Amino acid sequence: MSTLIKNGRIVTAVDDYNADIFIEDEKITQIGKNLEMGADKVIDASNRLVIPGGIDPHTHFDMPFGGTMSADDFESGPRAAAFGGTTCVIDFAIQTKGESTLKGLDTWHEKADGKALIDYAFHMIITDMPDSRLGEMRKLADEGITSYKLFMAYPGVLYVDDGTLYRAFRQAGDNGTRICMHAENGIVIDEIIKEAVADGHTEPKWHGLTRPTRMEAEGVYRSIAIAEVAKVPLYIVHLSCSDALEEVKRARMRGIDVIAETCPQYLFLDKSYYEKEGFEGAKWVMTPALREKWNQDELWQGLKFRDLETIATDHCPFCFKEQKELGLESFTKIPNGAPGVENRMSLIYNGGVVQGRMDLNRFVEVTSTAAAKAFGLFPKKGTIAVGTDADIVIFDPERKETISVNNPCTHHMRVDYSAYEGFEVQGFTETVLSRGRVIIENNEQKIEKGGQFVKRALTGSRLD
Ligand code: URP
Ligand code: ZN
Ligand code: ZN
């Protein structure tokens, strides 16, 4: 199968030029002006951007959490991601406490196998790591699981103590792999929650009020200190606020290998969403919580000056009816998480490029290339070049849409609300190729499945 994409404006993290792209089977084999070769399929990309498929390094499909399961599985989640211009996700497999991480990996392979429309990889969530199990981390790396998430939050659920952090960090560093950190002091936060509950507070807004930004900053500081001593590269996930960003900046100025991710929810939404009528605020109960609005400017600055490396979604959807409603009696019972995997590219293009906060190259970098580099997918994915996977998005920079659960163009996620309801965006995904297969064409799904598990390299890897 061959495909020729004609007349597009190709934008990568470093290039911006007009040319044609020739794809044979899964790979890009030629890029040039006025390519004339015959192809099984020709796509005219005039007046469109031709960009590397988005990479979302933080999703939770089919995840047990908060007494229920995240609403998108490996069929609906990747499909929604594809409609939004994302062609690869890195989801989180989970180790059941006391059991093998390799068993956890098998479970996630079973959940995903044969279902996904786009390619996917896994990080491993480590919930305990006695000395006797440390060798598993090497085996995980051999299986292409070259990053691990550990939690300072959620005591009694996913939380691990500092000793476990140190052991896992040391091993990850020795193996040439990376640690992803949910950095928030969950022990202190639980005490604050107890006080709020004792005072009779039940409404969703108390989720935000019991999670001070200082407790996120403390987690960032502590995890960086442990990573520095353990000599492991660190990736702070879902960084939400200026206090936490300051700790990242300070460490980077000292030459520490720490990079950080933020998410659209922290760039576009703020704590006023918790003040909505009745139980409505539960839609935005996520961790870290939404912050005061002024933090958003600091995060955009962080992206501009490269103290923030990537924009992921932390897509972890729960339906408002029946799932979020588990917390009707108390904010402590609301499942934490929100949807967004479908909306990331348009939100960031609109808020970043259209509104003048970043240029086109940086847009590609923060939505694709940087994640590929951080997580051992580059240069197979994350750019457009001869020899790379033909994961390509043809993006209409002018098209406007209003994001809504009721807009069939913006909502394929299996969840009964949109976190960005009513947001108007300019810039929209039109056609998507995944390893050369046209999976979405003019906003219509063309293929049901075919996404593959991607084994990730330890660091950046060369093409074969
Ligand atoms: O609220 C969130 N973020 N839910 C997903 C789990 C996590 O902490 O990433
Ligand atoms: Zn987290
Ligand atoms: Zn998450």
- Cα–Cα distance measured from residue 461 to residue 459, given in angstroms and rounded to the nearest whole number: 6
Strand partners, 56: 89
Query: Which residue's entry shows tokens 């991710």?
Result: 261
Pocket-forming residues, ligand 1, beta carbon under 6 Å: 60, 182, 286-287, 314, 316, 336-337
Q: How far is the CA of 79 from the centre of ligand 1 (A)?
A: 21
Give 406 Cα–ligand 2 centroid separation in angstroms.
29
Backbone angles phi, psi at 55, to 5 degrees: -120, 120
Q: Whose CA is nearest to atom 7 of ligand 1?
A: 287
Going from the Cα of 314 to the center of ligand 1, the distance in angstroms, rounded, reads 6
Q: By C-alpha distance, which of 357, 443, 299, 374 is closest to 56?
A: 374
Mean pLDDT value of segment 32-49 = 97
Is 71's pLDDT higher than 70? yes
> Distance between CA atoms of 383 and 26, rounded to whole angstroms?
14
Q: Is the pLDDT of residue 65 over 70?
A: yes
What pLDDT, in 10s, does the model give residues 72-106? Answer: 999 999 999 999 999 999 999 999 999 999 999 99
- pLDDT recorded at residue 464: 44
Using pLDDT thresholds of 50, 70 and 90, give the confidence band for residue 462. very low
Q: Residue 410: phi, psi to the nearest 5?
A: -115, 0
The alpha carbon torsion through 224, 268, 373, 19 (nearest 10 deg) reads -160
The yes-or-no verdict on residue 23 having pLDDT over 90 is: yes
- Span from the CA of 59 to the centroid of ligand 3 (angstroms): 6
Task: Record the pTM.
Answer: 0.97
Q: Where are the beta strands (DSSP E) in 25-140?
A: 27-32, 41-44, 49-52, 54-59, 64-65, 68-69, 86-94, 119-125
Q: Please tell me the predicted confidence (pLDDT) of residue 459.
A: 74
pLDDT tens figures, 130-181: 999 999 999 999 999 999 999 999 999 999 999 999 999 999 999 999 999 9
* The pLDDT of residue 63: 98
Q: Give the domain 53-374 fold.
A: TIM Barrel (3.20.20)
Return the sign of the alpha-carbon dihedral for residues 426, 432, 434, 435: negative
Nearest-angstrom CA–CA distance, 238 and 256: 19
In the three-class reduction of DSSP (H, G, I as helix; E, B as strand; rest coil), residue 429 is classed as strand
Helix (H) or strand (E) holding 2: strand 2-11
What atom of ligand 1 comes closest to residue 58's alpha carbon?
A: 9
Q: Assess whether pLDDT exceeds 90 at residue 325.
A: yes
Q: If 0-12 CB within 10 Å is exposed, 13-18 middle and 19+ buried, where does residue 279 land?
A: middle
Percent of the chain with pLDDT over 70: 99
> With the CA atoms of 48, 53, 56 and 57 taken in that order, what torsion angle do they form, in degrees rounded to the nearest 10?
-150
Q: Sign of the CA dihedral 393, 396, 397, 399?
A: negative
Instruction: Give the number of the atom of ligand 1 that is nearest the alpha carbon of residue 237.
Output: 9
β-strand pairing of 147-151 with 178-182: parallel
The pLDDT tens digits for 439-459 are: 999 999 999 999 999 999 997
Q: Distance (Å, rounded) from C-alpha 427 to C-alpha 398? A: 5
**Cα–Cα distance between 409 and 84 in angstroms, integer?**
9
Q: Which whole number is the average pLDDT over 383-391? A: 98
Residues 6+ apart with CB under 8 A from 152: 159, 160, 165, 181, 182, 183, 184, 185, 186, 219, 222, 223
Return the closest-CA partner of residue 254 out of 280, 287, 221, 281: 221
Q: Is 398 exposed, middle or buried (0-12, 13-18, 19+ CB in 10 A)?
A: exposed
Average pLDDT over residues 374-393: 98
Return the pLDDT at 311: 99
Interstrand relation of 310-311 and 258-262 (parallel, antiparallel or unpaired): parallel
Closest CA to 265 of 301, 239, 290: 290
